[in-house]
Amino acid sequence: MMKQKRKKEVSDREREERLVAEYFEHDKEGQPIYMAVKGVVFDVTSGKEFYGKGAPYNALVGKDSTRGVAKMSLDPEDLTHDTTGLTEEELKSLDDIFNDVYKAKYPIVGYTSQRILNEDGSPNQNFKPEDQPHFSIRDEF
């Protein structure tokens, strides 16, 4: 008799982290270092001194850390895509950092599920790739 396993419910945050983080092991030498802000996944490998293992901003890696970037916080509860309750100043800071640091400095390699899927996991019909920050298709994709 086979035991039936309960299907574990996966939260949006867990699914998002899995999509970003399980693609690679960012603490292994030679692997890319990815992080997401506002649902856009960036390859921050060129900033290894900031985002690599043991580096000051390593906590931001492997997940959508939008709230942490907006609040300039590395607290675990802020390392999420959720922007609920952010002040106007924090939202402005987020936009400035997103545009002036991440989009200007790091290649875009994809998008998180939060950006392209509905809460039920179905495709977001309003997601239009042509309206998104663009990334170059690379050999590994």
> For the domain that residue 98 is a member of, what is the CATH number?
3.10.120.10
- Give the domain range for residue 78: 12-123
Q: Determine the average pLDDT of the residues in 42-50.
A: 95
Q: Is the pLDDT reported for residue 1 higher than 50?
A: no
Across the range 49-62, mean pLDDT stands at 94
Domain presence at residue 86:
yes
Give a yes or no: residue 134 inside a domain: no
Q: Residue 99: inside a domain, yes or no?
A: yes
Q: Report the Cα 135 to chain-centroid distance in Å.
A: 14
Comparing 44 with 110, the larger pLDDT belongs to 44
Whether 66 maps to a domain, the answer reads yes
Q: Is residue 41 part of a domain?
A: yes
Specify if 7 maps to a domain.
no
Whole-structure pTM value: 0.70
Q: pLDDT tens digit string along 85-96?
A: 999 999 999 999
Q: Which residues, 6 or more positions from 112, have their beta carbon under 8 angstroms from its beta carbon?
A: 16, 19, 20, 36, 39, 40, 41, 64, 81
Separation of alpha carbons 90 and 11, rounded Å: 25
- Tally of structural domains, the chain: 1
